[in-house]
Amino acid sequence: MSGHSKWSQIKRAKGKTDAQRGASFTKLAKEIYVSAKIGGADVSGNFRLRTAIDKAKAGLMPSDNIKKAIQRAVSGLVGETYEELQYEGYGLGGVAVIVEAMTDNRNRTGGDIRSYFTKCEGNLGETGCVGWMFSKKGVITITGHKKDKIVFDDLFMEVADLGADDLIDNENGEYQVQTPPDTLMLEKIQKELNEKGYLTSDVEIIQIPTTSVEIDDEFTAKKVLKLIDLLEAHDDVQNVYSNFEIKEEILDLIS
């Protein structure tokens, strides 16, 4: 997904507005709340909560916000309840899109997501319509080593011995370790990498496309990117996955 990745890099380079940061904090707080609600507030025994807190800290979420989200989850008081839902559909040009949402009102969220697909000339489909084009994987980003320079071939052998499925060079000084989509395996591999001196971040289970669709015209590219932007900006949407690649010359025209 080189085109998709480059678009993400362009957006990051432009910086986040306060409104975007606020929306991000809302999403992070929901993940912390649900993680604590399901697995308890003890981070040593709740890997999902620990990774949610790490992500929140990386996103510069204030510590007070993190504590409040956990306290709401374990207080025992009647309050908000969230469902974790997955929506699937097609963007213009046959681009497959998966949306992971966390909502307290499925009718509102489903209606909004359907309207975004329609507005951008796509179609929201039934569960499973594009899911078969993606594979769930655990991922760990390695950002460096405490002492040594990282050599790809040596690192590949190390992560393979730990039980990882693959190692990807992100070509920016970072490496992505792919693991089976199992929380215990993901936690084990991260722990062993840290013990070996590797610096890790962005530990999560994601959906990786197994096939891709190349976009080679400006109109389709704008519609697809608009759809992704609308979905990612929605407060109830936690993650958006798609399988498009955009030709470099087209991306340069619209970026």
CA 222, CA 48: separation in Å to the nearest integer? 35
pLDDT at residue 12 in the model: 41
pLDDT at residue 2 in the model: 38
The residue ranges of the chain whose pLDDT is under 70 are: 1-23, 76-79, 255
pLDDT at residue 202 in the model: 87
Domain boundaries, the chain: 2-74, 83-126+211-254, 133-209
pLDDT at residue 253 in the model: 85
pLDDT at residue 16 in the model: 36
CA 54, CA 48: separation in Å to the nearest integer? 10
Placement of tokens 């963007």 in the chain: 91
Phi and psi at 120, nearest 5°, equal -100, 20
CA 128, CA 126: separation in Å to the nearest integer? 6
CATH number corresponding to 2-74: 1.10.10.200
pLDDT at residue 221 in the model: 93
pLDDT digits (tens, 9 = 90+) for 133-181: 999 999 999 999 999 899 999 999 999 999 999 999 988 889 999 999 9
pLDDT at residue 248 in the model: 84
Domain 133-209 classification at class level = alpha beta
- 2-74 and 133-209: same fold? no
CATH number corresponding to 83-126+211-254: 3.30.70.980
Residue type (1 letter), 52:
A
CA 124, CA 116: separation in Å to the nearest integer? 9
